[in-house]
Amino acid sequence: MAVDRILGRLNSLISMGEEVLKTRYSRSDGMVIMRDLVNESLFRQWHTSSLAFLKTFPSEYVYYNEFEEHCKLSKYDDTVEGVAILKAAKENIEGGYLQKVETLVSASVFSDFLEMAKHLLDNGYKDPAASLIGAVLEDGLRRICINNGITLKTKEDISSLNQKLAQKHVYNPLQQKQIQVWNDIRNNADHCNFDQYKMDDVTDMLKGVRNFLSEYLK
């Protein structure tokens, strides 16, 4: 289900936010006041990725604006607010209150997601871009499976979808290996192993996934 995949992405962002919270430290501003901060690099990666995802929600939902307003700086309190907003979105989806959120993963918005990933790359944010491209790839593979009459289980990921499509000879083993490379990049991004891939790898991933979906998702 689309909602399950959206919840999975929210869970990933919440976990990333909680990892950022663990980097908490205090610094004086030169006076008596002590400020609680978090690692700025990790904060920016999580912050940009969260905004990119929340922006895809239907405009009447407030999560993007709330996150943008209350989570701005690499401060501990801002990060707490951001995680709370992500959790609120998750709770509402689990409660069935955001039925229109299904539109997030419709084939018609694949291009928008990939353009968003390109924007992230253009601004130097390879890690949230890799996560976003991976999410588009996973949903695309799922739709290709459905189009080819492949039975799917409730829980499927890129590896299992890729294997099923290759076994049915929808594409050749070389394409299967390439998709696994993209999956490795996505998994490293989602698990904060940011040193395991480079900006060029994500740039190539974006181009490759775009071409792959254009050819196989018809």
Cα separations in angstroms, 47 against 130, 153, 177, 202 = 15, 32, 32, 19
Does 30 share its domain with 85? yes
What does the pLDDT read at residue 1? 44
Does 170 share its domain with 116? yes
Does 58 share its domain with 72? yes
Does 76 share its domain with 36? yes
Contacts of 78 (CB under 8 A, 6+ apart): 70, 71, 72
Does 14 share its domain with 31? yes
What does the pLDDT read at residue 188? 92
Query: For tokens 């790898």, what's the residue?
Result: 201
Q: Which of these three, 71, 100, 129, is where a domain ends?
A: 100
Assigned token pair, 69: 């307003």
Assigned token pair, 36: 């609680």
Question: Cα(30)–Cα(27) distance, rounded to whole angstroms?
Answer: 9
What does the pLDDT read at residue 57? 75
Q: Which of these three, 100, 133, 154, is where a domain ends?
A: 100
Does 120 share its domain with 86? no
Q: Which of these three, 56, 76, 100, is where a domain ends?
A: 100
Q: Which domain holds residue 22?
A: 2-100
SS3 of 152-191: the string is CCCCCCHHHHHHHHHHCCCCCHHHHHHHHHHHHHHHHHHC
Cα separations in angstroms, 13 against 111, 119, 151 = 22, 19, 29
The CATH number covering residue 124 comes to 1.20.120
Does 89 share its domain with 116? no
Burial 145-154 (b: 16+ CB within 10 A, else e): beeeebeeee
For residue 123, report the phi and psi dihedrals to the nearest 5 degrees: -100, 10
Is the pLDDT assigned to residue 31 strictly greater than 70? no
Minimal CA–CA distance to 187: which of 116, 134, 140, 122? Answer: 134
Number of domains in the chain: 2
Segment 170-210, tens digit of pLDDT: 999 999 999 999 999 999 988 888 899 999 999 999 999 99
Does 72 share its domain with 14? yes
Does 85 share its domain with 113? no
Does 50 share its domain with 119? no
Does 96 share its domain with 117? no
The pTM for the full model equals: 0.56
What does the pLDDT read at residue 46? 93
The helix/strand/coil state of 98 is coil
Query: For tokens 């968003």, what's the residue?
Result: 116
Does 88 share its domain with 110? no
Per-residue pLDDT band at 76 (split at 50, 70, 90): very high
What does the pLDDT read at residue 33? 62
